[in-house]
Every structure is written in C-alpha cells, then in structure tokens.
C-alpha cells in the first residue's frame, strides 16, 4: 500500500494512505465523514474507463491512514492535501470532494491557490458556513454540534448507526438504492475510524469557508441532493453557487447525502460532462 508522510506525532510518522491508478489527467478524490477513500467505489471505475488517472486517499484518522490525536482542522487537512499534490507532482488536476472533502477543496485553493488545479467538484457541500452567527442567521445552532459530540462520547457506535441512517435516508432507500450489506459496510468503515478523529472532525463542521470560496478561480461544479439530512441543501450548495462566479449547480430531487452511492449514475454523468472526455482532458 502506498503512503505519504505528512507530519510527526511524537516519535511516530503521520502517514496518509492513497491509491493511484490509471493514466491521463489526474483526478483527486477526497472522501466525506466518516468513511474513507473506499467510499468512491462507484466513481473510480468510471473515471478510469474515461481515461483519467485517479487518486483516492484516506483523511488522517480514517481508513488506512494514521490515526493521530492531532491535526483535525481544515488548515491541517488542506496541508495534507498540499503535501499529496506536491509529492505526486500533480498538475492540471481535478479535485472532487464529498461532504467534508468539499472543505478541503475550499481551504486548499483558498490557502495554496490553483496552480496545480484546473477544475473542482463539490458533492453534498459543507461550505460555505454551517454555523448560526449574527452574520449567518439561517445557520445551524451551536447546540446541535455540541449534541453530536455528546452522542459520540456516550456511544460512538450507536451515533454512527444514526449517522449512516441519515447519510442514506435509509428509511426511504433501504432495499432500493441501499442494501443492508451496504449499510453494514459503511457502518464498519465509520466505526473503524479514530475515536479521537471522529469527535474532533465534528468540530470542523462549523468552519467558515466564505473567504476561501472568494479565492476559487477555477470552474466549479456543485452537486447536491435536496433531501440531504446531513448538509441541508438550502444552507449549503445554493450559497456556494452564489459566491463562486460561473459555478454550476446540479440539484438531485429527492436525493440524500450519500449520493456518490445512491445516485452514482447521475453523479458520474454530471462529473463526466463537467471534466470532459480524455481528448479534451488537457485543456484548462
């Protein structure tokens, strides 16, 4: 398994696990909470078949990456992505993020610029700013996030069952888009993550990305289900579109948060239309 070292914790390296397949223009896949790069199972084959080099990595604390006790904030997450981009010398890359992974895209471009990036895709967006404040009055009250943390502290395994329920709108998709086996596999991924990382990542959901969005200067595609119970559609993706000039928003009616799985055909089709076929892949 390939790894890249992104830091140290005491005497131990902090390593990111990644998979790097295919040739052509690079596409970097950044997974959502509380999963890993394995969550892109329905996107990787489609991208490879279309002639793209496809890189999927596990965020620190998740999947096969190291599980440190530190570094669970978006400056560090963006720094980890920057190390990956530099170490693999990725250029003209497309960044595709789901859920928490959309925060990496915003903060990475906001902090490091777009010299290595030609396009970006945000799926089930966390930006621009979820927290309710005086200048964001329709946001989510801080007590909601505190409640999530208390649930994780009390029983992380039960919390993740509830989270995966809402991730897939399982009461609506069970036995249709989502089998019991898929639910169980996602729960297994969720509970295999670092307990510390799981708790601390909830704190990152209140990050303000508005200044980062103002610095996005590459074409941006936004895809979001309008029945998303994790990242409420009206509070997220439509606002991103309004803040990023020229961005494109695809709304999936009736769709939940976990659309890379439940609506893979629609998601993959929108991505392919946006990033173009291999013959055009080198054009910025």
Residues annotated as catalytic (active site), given as ranges: 99, 228, 257
- Per DSSP, 235 falls in state G
Beta bridge partners of 8: 13
What is the DSSP annotation of 9-61? ETTEEEEEEEEEE-SSSEEEEEPPTT--GGGGTTTHHHHHHTT-EEEEEPPTT
Q: For residue 256, is the peptide bond before it cis, meaning its omega torsion is within 30 degrees of 0?
A: no
CB atoms near residue 238 (< 10 Å): 16
Structure tokens at 124: 């089930």
Q: What are phi and psi of 120, to 5 degrees?
A: -145, 150
Q: For residue 200, is the peptide bond before it cis, meaning its omega torsion is within 30 degrees of 0?
A: no
Do the Cβ atoms of 275 and 267 come closer than 8 Å?
A: no
Beta bridge partners of 119: 94
Q: H helices of the chain, where?
A: 44-49, 74-87, 100-112, 142-168, 170-173, 180-191, 195-204, 210-213, 237-243, 259-262, 264-275
Q: How many angstroms separate the CA atoms of 231 and 224, rounded?
A: 9
**Distance from chain centroid for Cα 115:** 21
């Amino acid at each position: 398994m390939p790894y890249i070292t992104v830091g140290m914790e005491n005497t131990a390296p902090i390593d990111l696990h990644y998979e790097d397949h295919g040739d052509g223009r690079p596409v970097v896949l950044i997974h959502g909470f509380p999963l890993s790069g394995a969550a892109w199972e329905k996107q990787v084959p489609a991208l490879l078949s279309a002639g793209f080099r496809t890189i999927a990595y596990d965020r620190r604390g998740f999947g096969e990456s190291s599980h440190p006790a530190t570094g669970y904030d978006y400056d560090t997450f963006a720094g980890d992505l920057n190390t990956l981009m530099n170490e693999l010398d990725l250029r003209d890359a497309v960044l595709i993020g789901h859920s928490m992974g959309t925060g990496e895209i915003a903060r990475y471009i906001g902090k490091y610029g777009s010299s290595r990036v030609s396009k970006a895709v945000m799926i089930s967006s966390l930006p621009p700013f979820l927290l309710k404040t005086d200048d964001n009055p329709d946001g989510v009250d801080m007590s909601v996030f505190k409640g999530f943390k208390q649930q994780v502290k009390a029983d992380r395994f039960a919390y993740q069952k509830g989270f995966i329920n809402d991730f897939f709108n399982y009461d609506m998709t069970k036995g249709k888009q989502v089998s019991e086996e898929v639910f169980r596999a996602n729960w297994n991924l969720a509970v295999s993550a670092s307990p510390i990382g799981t708790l601390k990542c909830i704190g990152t959901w209140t990050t303000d990305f508005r200044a980062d969005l103002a610095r996005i200067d590459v074409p941006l595609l936004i895809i979001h289900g309008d029945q998303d119970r994790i990242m409420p559609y009206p509070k997220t993706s439509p606002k991103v579109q309004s803040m990023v000039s020229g961005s494109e928003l695809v709304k999936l009616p009736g769709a939940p948060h976990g659309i890379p799985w439940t609506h893979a055909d629609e998601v993959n089709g929108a991505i392919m239309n946006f990033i173009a076929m291999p013959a055009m892949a080198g054009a910025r």
